[in-house]
Amino acid sequence: MTLYMIRGDTVTAHASPPARGSEDELRVRSAKEIEASRLTNAQMAAIWNALPGTAPVAKFKDRNTAVQRLWAAFGQLPVSSAPAGGSAGPSAGSKQARVIGLLQRPEGATIDEIASAMGWQRHTVRGLISGALKKRLGLDIVSERTDRGRFYRISEGRSAVR
């Protein structure tokens, strides 16, 4: 059974529980465990908004709706089966994986949005995109200029990390 670990608004899926845990994480294996958790409706909305491919919400109609939608979205997350250390792609929940999640959204993300979400400088984001994501992982990053600025997203053909 898949274990979902929630740290702040980041959710990672694991085939087997990681050896180390921390006090600031919530581990759930079912919708009932989400329901029984101490997550507030605002926290559940923040988690939802941070998940890749979800349409942002200000709040949920009620707690049951939030739990059901979160549980369904958790089932779409890639499951990490690799033990800690040494893998070809980014570890689930890593900073690199969080940026990839932002870029996988249908609308993509701007450099400023990524920098703000990660607490980074703009040049750090640009370096990650060109170096780690394009060159090392071989992801096809598409850049589009819109009336709201330049948006970056991962091309549909290469949306999954190796």
Other beta carbons less than 10 A from residue 142's beta carbon:
15
Instruction: Name the band, by pLDDT with cuts 50, 70 and 90, for residue 34.
Output: very high
pLDDT in tens, 50-97: 888 788 899 999 999 999 999 998 888 887 765 444 445 667 678 888
> CB neighbours (10 Å) of residue 103?
22
Q: Domain ranges in the chain? A: 3-80, 95-158
H helices present in 27-154, as ranges: 31-36, 41-50, 63-74, 95-104, 111-118, 122-127
Query: What are the tens digits of pLDDT across the range 98-110?
Result: 898 889 888 889 9
The model carries a pTM of 0.51
For 133, the token pair is 């994501």
**Token output for 43:** 């926290």
Task: For the domain covering 95-158, report its CATH number.
Answer: 1.10.10.10
